[in-house]
Amino acid sequence: MIQTTKFIKCIKANAVLLSVLVALFVTGISSSLRAQELNQSYNNGLFYFDKIEGLVADEKEIRAGLLYDLTRNTIVWEKDMDYAYPIASLTKMMVGLLAVEDIEAGNVCWDDKITVSRVYRKKVSRRRYTSVTSKEEYSLEDLLKMAMVGSHNESTAWIAKHCSGSLETFVARMNTRAQELGMTKTQYSNPSGLPAVIDELDNSSSPRDMLVLGLEVLKHDKLMAITSIPYATVSTGKGTATYRNHNGLVINYNKEVDGIKTGFTKAAGFCLVSTATRGGHRMMSVVFGVRSPWIRNGLVASMMNSYYDAMKLGRLGDAEPDMTQACAFLDSVNGGLVCVRPNIEPKHQDSAEESFAYTYKTVNEKVKKTYTVRSGDNLGKIAERYDVTTSDLKKWNRIKGSTIQKGQHLAIYSTVKRRVLVKLVVDPDESYADTQSSLDNNEEIDTKIETQRVDSNNSKDVVLETNMDSSSDNKVAEAKSMKQEKSLAKSVVSQSPTTKPKFIYHTVQPGDTLWNIAQRYQANVDQIKKANKISNSKYLRSGTRIKIPVKKG
């Protein structure tokens, strides 16, 4: 009887073990099939959907967009991702892609020299003008920095001329390449993204198409390295100019966010295609039509942080994550065993638009507790109760031996995680710089480009000289129409290409005060007054262009 009972128990135990093994085997097969499905869908240009609620704090602020997990080949959030909208300077992603592909094909070189001769009509008196000629020389690499980092519009025309000989040919190549990539909702009419004469001809695309283009850009490491530069310094042949990256997330999280491009026109709103990598887990976000750069950057940072946090990877800017825990969770998600449940980032309770320039970061904080020794207590028991070591207890309370007295107060420190507000770096002049050509006080009437190829075989230089079409994209007219945009900002001139710019330029708007301007740029009122020789801040006039000192380090 006893042997029969043992036999039955043995059978039951083996049955339980067998069921566990079968479950693990099935889970392993499903995970393997899931991985094969993801790889197959990626190879076919398709994306797996796993829409997660609660990733975006305020969806109504975004006209259209998506959040894509490259590691899982999964779109985890989207809104109207298959509808076409104006894309403004997101156009420059295609310009950069074609230029880099030409370089890799050997058609052009990174160090090709492009000389730009400009003739301006400068107003001398009320009815008299004079012509002024200016020459600048750039390398192709520097022009790509100007286009991708500073969103410089004229540089895209110079790149187009250099790579294809004419704007028309280059724009045709842009549309052809878009079709090759399967970007069926995309059309280009110019390389800059500036508004076309007819609204229907504005450069337009869908979030899905921008995701496809972004994935293609990711294949070119040097182009991605350019888009991740916080401050790009280029040589003009006469000096240097420094351009600040319009994507403030690159400045805030330079080790994790590496691009790609911002965009703005009145029709497009504020747009951004951005990529980030945390714990080896790469994300790409696409947002269209946000009403301000503060809201746009805040929402993108918020959705990425919410997703990374839910995947056990922490948040952008946090310490290195525990990859053992994160990988185990990721395997469970892909195996269909658990769901991703984001911890929605709280909304900053401030009505001002600048409040959206904040996100939240998890920090470790030491908290002090006081414990009163009871009868029968010893250091070992207390240490075990609070999960600390006896040596720490002795160190915190300066105890030399091991004796403690009843009623004695002991200090005990523990580390807790707390979420704190972090202010994002946002370029408040992005709306101007993204839509303005390099024209300022002078009126351009003619432009000539000379491009010089530096041959790797040291053969004779090949010089190509072309006149830019005066009506190309109606650039001059468009630049004039954009001059009334929010605030004036130009590239900052620097003497050394290895140093950050000393000043950022800001044009005073109605209602601006020195205190508000200082808060916006995280600057000091006294330093602003000293830099601009302002003696009485009450007479700060609207339209005045002032210098804002940039913090060192």
**What's the whole-number mean pLDDT along residues 395-405?**
88
Name the packing angle between helices 92-104 and 140-148 (round to 10°). Answer: 160
Taking the C-alpha atoms of residue 221 and residue 215, their distance in angstroms, rounded to an integer, is 12
* Reported confidence tier of residue 367, pLDDT bands at 50, 70, 90: confident
Residue 507 is predicted with a pLDDT of 76
Residue 432 is predicted with a pLDDT of 67
Residue 120 phi, psi dihedral angles, 5° rounding? -110, 150
Please report which residue ranges of 368-456 form alpha helices under DSSP H.
379-385, 390-397, 430-433
The pLDDT tens digits for 469-528 are 433 444 443 444 444 333 333 333 333 334 445 777 777 776 677 877 877 777 788 888
Other beta carbons within 10 angstroms of residue 362's beta carbon come to: 15
* Reported confidence tier of residue 448, pLDDT bands at 50, 70, 90: low
User: What's the whole-model pTM score?
Assistant: 0.69
Spatial CA neighbour of 115 closest among 457, 454, 421: 454
Whether 94 and 220 have beta carbons less than 8 Å apart is answered as no
Torsion of CA 533, 536, 539, 542, to 10 degrees: 40
Q: Given CA atoms 532, 483, 262, 239 in this order, what sign does their dihedral have?
A: negative
The pLDDT tens digits for 244-277 are 898 989 998 988 998 899 999 999 999 999 999 9
Residue 530 is predicted with a pLDDT of 84
Residue 205 pLDDT > 50, yes or no? yes
Return mean pLDDT, the chain.
78
* Reported confidence tier of residue 131, pLDDT bands at 50, 70, 90: confident
Whether 343 and 308 have beta carbons less than 8 Å apart is answered as no
Min mean pLDDT across 150-154, 238-242, 548-552 is at: 548-552
Residue 300 pLDDT > 90, yes or no? yes
Residue 24 pLDDT > 50, yes or no? no
Spatial CA neighbour of 314 closest among 413, 419, 415: 419
Query: How distant, in Å, are the alpha carbons of 8, 101, 179, 206, 224 from that of 209?
Result: 62, 19, 10, 5, 18
Contacts of 190 (CB under 8 A, 6+ apart): 91, 167, 171, 196, 203, 472, 473
